Amino acid sequence: MFGLPWSTTFFVIFWPLILLVGTLIYMLSGTYEGKKEEEEFNLDDWYKTF
Amino acid sequence: MQMSLIMWIVVITYLVISVAAGALMAKKDEARSLNGYLNSGNSLPPLLLAFSLSATALSGLLFMGGATQMYAIGWKQFALQYCIGGATSMVLAVWLLGKPMHYIAQKRDSVTIVDLFVDIYNDKRLSYIAVPTIIIGSTVFAAVQWQCLGNLFTMFGVDYKIGVVMGVVVVALYTNFGGNSSQAIVGTIQTFIAMAACLFICWRSANVVGGFTAMNAQLGAIDPGLLTLTSASWPVTMVITRILGAGCGSFGQPYLVIKYFQIKDAKMYPRVMVLGLVSYFFIILVVTAGLPILILTNNGTIPPLANMDLLIPTFITELVNPMPGIGAVMGGIIVAAALCTIMSTASSLMLSAAGSIVNDVSIKWRKKQYTDEQAVKNSKIAIWFITLISALIALFPTGGIFMVGYAAASLYGVVFAPSLIGGLRWRRATKHGAFWSMLISLILDLTLYILNATGIKRFTLPFDMNGMCFTISIIIFVVVSLATKPQEKLMLPPSRAELIAQKTKTA
């Protein structure tokens, strides 16, 4: 694309897009680290237990 | 190189706004305690945190030095250093460090990254390695920022040394006024300006040589290696270690990492990731300026550059200023954007080094007792001290912006990243692993850099020097941790097995 070899195109254009879409989906999903533990063990905040 | 009156007005307006914002934040209550002054009382909203992270991460090293590397090695610089190394590590750093650091800061009232190391590993010896690393790295990296400012001000027809002094005074003033809160607010405004300017630079870079496809065709005609990730002088080992060297900085730079203490609510970190990435991807477009300059100097349209560090000033005066109608205003905005990235990083470096001097050296080592007011006052004195030393180094520059800046920024990653990530995420990590990894990598990285920079022994291995040191640092950390007695980690949340055991006990 734009006269660049495919490997350069991937890392210059598609890799940033993959990162951006991936983090956007993570943000919109509303999940966060420790959510599973909090639900399963009935904790207010998993991190605050240490 | 000369700037027009309009460009002067745009730049001076920007400098006045920066100092005024700092002065306004000085009236806020949180600027009156040490944690408030250095960390905004751990209460920043996601937008301010994300944009202040971007503003800090994107320094003069990127704005003034990145384009010189594009000029030298082409698109591989953009792909390896910024898209793979920089962006990926930015996401990983927020994901791996954000939440645990926020909670540890709340629980232990941590002020600096040194506090964090001592808390995680319960070993004060680590501070004796971490503090000198922070002070050396911050001073040299700040000097690189002043060097960028001096080069930028030559466009005004101002002498390099006077330019350095002008920039130093403005940054020291607004950092002194309001501490981290002023840095975060000014950094956010700066990031918006920088995003607009960098988008324009990318458009102009392609436009001036006939579009992206035509630009790449001309680059390929000069050297096909400018378009590829590997080439004769860039073997795969160099590619991999450059990605590691570029990426490790996100995990270890104390003035960046300390910002993870500052979020209001740890559940907001996914938003920080997205906002940080968006601003980052806009701002890295600045480095494309190196490509049209390479093409135009090669075909004789622009005279060869006498000093590579003047590439961005040349881009502004040769390719932006002459544009009819908008040239002078856009030139002024680009200069303001460059000042944004340089000053926000310099300001964060000052705060980080001052925090270490007051909190770690005076309070923790020398057992001095300060009231909040005295601690903030001493931090301000420390800021002026670091500013003075780094400005003296910048007045007599000894190397190119990119190479010195990259070495200083990576030093933190090489020394701190394995122990920091391991300490927060790997239960088998031990204080001995952290100590030996930090000590050996600090000595190795500094020795190799000094030998190479002074020409005593040039680094000729097919690796990126910083990436190689980072890899060695990881290996030492893992091997020594596994070889030593497991250590109880009081600063980590319970594992699944521990939670089940607790539940069974309660039942």
Contact residues for B291 (Cβ-Cβ < 8 A; gap 6+)? B70, B71, B74, B205, B209, B215, B219
* B295 has pLDDT over 50: yes
Contact residues for B301 (Cβ-Cβ < 8 A; gap 6+)? none
Q: Minimal Cα–Cα distance from B494 to chain A, Å?
A: 6
Q: Range with the lowest mean pLDDT among B175-179, B305-309, B414-418, B454-458?
A: B175-179
* B29 has pLDDT over 50: no
What pLDDT sits at residue B365?
A: 80
* B237: helix, strand or coil: helix
Q: How far apart are CA B440 and CA B487, in angstroms?
A: 21
Across all residues in chain B, what is the average pLDDT?
83
Q: Is the CB of B217 inside 8 Å of chain A's CB atoms? A: yes
What pLDDT sits at residue A49?
A: 58
Chosen for mutation from A6, A7, A8, A39 (greatest number of chain B CBs closer than 10 Å) is A8
Contact residues for A8 (Cβ-Cβ < 8 A; gap 6+)? B75, B76, B79, B227, B228, B229
> Residue range B85-91: average pLDDT?
88
Q: Range with the lowest mean pLDDT among B95-109, B170-184, B394-408?
A: B170-184
What are the CA-CA distances from residue A13 to residues A7, A17, B68, B81 (Å)?
Answer: 10, 7, 21, 14
Do the chains contact at B103 and A48, CB–CB below 8 Å? yes
What pLDDT sits at residue B430?
A: 93
> Residue range B179-202: average pLDDT?
79
What pLDDT sits at residue B180?
A: 61
Residues from chain B contacting residue A34 (CB–CB below 8 Å): 99, 493
Structure confidence at residue B34 as a pLDDT band (50, 70, 90): low
The 10s digit of each residue's pLDDT in B151-161 is 888 877 888 88
Q: Residues of B numbered 469-498 whose beta carbons fall under 8 angstroms of chain A's beta carbons: which are they?
A: 490-494, 496
> Residue range B170-184: average pLDDT?
67
Segments making up each domain of chain B, as ranges: 5-397
Task: Compute the CA torsion angle B322, B323, B329, B333 (nearest 10 deg).
Answer: -90
Q: Minimal Cα–Cα distance from A18 to chain B, Å?
A: 10
DSSP letter assigned to residue B157? T
Structure confidence at residue A50 as a pLDDT band (50, 70, 90): low
Q: Minimal Cα–Cα distance from B313 to chain A, Å?
A: 25
Q: Minimal Cα–Cα distance from B224 to chain A, Å?
A: 10
> From B496, which residue of chain A is nearest by alpha-carbon distance?
A37
DSSP letter assigned to residue B494? P
Dmax (CA) of chain B:
81
Contact residues for B347 (Cβ-Cβ < 8 A; gap 6+)? B171, B174, B175, B183, B186, B187
* B209 has pLDDT over 90: yes
- Residue owning tokens 């750093």: B93
Q: Provide the percentage of residues in chain A whose pLDDT is more than 70.
A: 92
Measured CB to CB, residues of chain A less than 8 Å from chain B are: 2-5, 7-8, 11-12, 15-16, 19-20, 22-24, 26-27, 32-34, 37, 40-41, 46-50
What pLDDT sits at residue B289?
A: 94
> Counting Cβ atoms within 10 Å, is residue B16 exposed (0-12), middle (13-18) or buried (19+)?
exposed
The 10s digit of each residue's pLDDT in B123-151 is 888 989 988 888 888 888 888 888 888 88
What pLDDT sits at residue B43?
A: 60
What pLDDT sits at residue A11?
A: 93
Q: Is the dihedral of CA B226, B228, B229, B235 positive or negative?
A: negative
* B3: helix, strand or coil: coil
From the candidate CATH numbers 1.20.1730.10, 3.40.605.10, 1.10.599.10, 2.70.170.10, the one assigned to the domain spanning B5-397: 1.20.1730.10
What pLDDT sits at residue B348?
A: 77
Q: Provide the percentage of residues in chain B whose pLDDT is more than 90.
A: 26
Structure confidence at residue B26 as a pLDDT band (50, 70, 90): low
Do the chains contact at A12 and B499, CB–CB below 8 Å? no
> Residue range B452-465: average pLDDT?
88
Residues from chain A contacting residue B214 (CB–CB below 8 Å): 3
For residues B312 and B293, the answer to whether their CB atoms sit within 8 Å is no
Q: Range with the lowest mean pLDDT among B44-48, B61-65, B391-395, B405-409?
A: B44-48
Structure token pair of residue B233: 């002088």
Do the chains contact at A47 and B266, CB–CB below 8 Å? yes
User: B354: closest CA among B17, B75, B39?
Assistant: B39
> Residue range B369-374: average pLDDT?
78
> Residue range B7-22: average pLDDT?
76
- Side chain identity at residue A32, one-letter code: Y
> Residue range B45-68: average pLDDT?
76
The 10s digit of each residue's pLDDT in B113-124 is 888 888 888 888
* B478 has pLDDT over 90: yes
